[in-house]
Amino acid sequence: MNQILETKPNSNNYNKPNISSKKILFILKSELYISIILIIIIITFFINNSIKLYEKEKYSSQILDNYNITKLYSNVFSNDSTIYNESIENFAILGIIEIPKINIYYPIFSTYNDEILKISPCRFYGPMPGNKGNLCIAGHNYDNNKFFSKISHLNVNDEIIIFNNFNKKFSYFVYKIYEVKYDDVSPIYTYDKNSKELTLITCNNLNNNRIIVKALENKSEH
């Protein structure tokens, strides 16, 4: 028996709309334009952030230059360290922080707020350099070579130097580096009350923790 096989059109293919080549080209062009616009926005954002950071770094350098000139020519300052006392807290800048290993050299503001923290490291808590207690200095982490971005690269026994307004040098040596949660304030209050301690604080931008560097003053210098 002969059978005639008839091929019926596939219902799925039959109902599928026919997309013209012009429409496909339009879709591809639209996606390309959107991608280009997004790339331009990202690049512009990156450039603007880089410019702002450069301006802050430049401003910090200008402050440091003015500070050094002031120390040289102002009658307010003296080489006589005996007059150094708590009244120095009235100055906007308490001194300079230098960390040779990671190429840090910045003025330190004697008080803290969000705006001046964008310009340079700030004293967050504690006494002036050379006094007993825990001198806490906060600085931003921009994930580059600026401010406190690389303090996590320090090791035990690395030197941190603080110069006060009379150019007196205080050398501290790292004894501990660790992280705490963003709301953990224990590094500020955990220290030997009879010691002269330095605590550096910055953010870990990967996990929102705080990077803590603890150092003790070298007693052999006094």
Reported as a single tens digit per residue, the pLDDT across 108-126 is 988 888 888 888 899 989 9
Q: What's the alpha-carbon Rg for the chain, to the nearest Å?
A: 30
Residue 129 placed within a domain: yes
pLDDT at 133 over 90: yes
Domain membership flag for residue 15: no
Residue 182 lies in a domain: yes
Beta-strand ranges (E) seen in the chain are: 93-99, 104-109, 122-125, 133-138, 159-164, 169-180, 196-204, 209-217
Main-chain phi, psi angles of 35, to 5 degrees? -60, -45
**Any domain includes 171:** yes
pLDDT value of position 63: 53
Question: For position 190, what pLDDT does the model report?
Answer: 87
Let me know: does 216 contact 179? Beta carbons within 8 Å: no
In a domain, 14, yes or no: no
How far is residue 71's CA from residue 163's CA, in Å, rounded to a whole number?
A: 12
Residue 28 lies in a domain: no
pLDDT by residue (tens digit) across 1-10?
444 444 454 5
> What's the CATH code of the domain at 181?
2.40.260.10
The residue-averaged pLDDT of 143-166 equals: 92
Name beta bridge partners: 126: none
What mean pLDDT is reported for the chain? 77
154, 143 Cβ separation under 8 angstroms: no
Q: Which of 111, 114, 171 is nearest to 137 (CA)?
A: 111
> What is the distance, to the nearest Å, from the Cα of residue 215 to the centroid of all Cα atoms in its chain?
19
Q: What are phi and psi of 139, to 5 degrees?
A: -150, 155
Q: What is the residue range of 187's domain?
A: 80-221
Are residues 213 and 174 in contact, defined by beta-carbon separation less than 8 angstroms?
A: yes
* 37-76 pLDDT per residue, tens: 888 888 877 776 666 666 555 555 555 554 444 443 333 3
209, part of any domain: yes
In a domain, 3, yes or no: no
Number of domains in the chain: 1
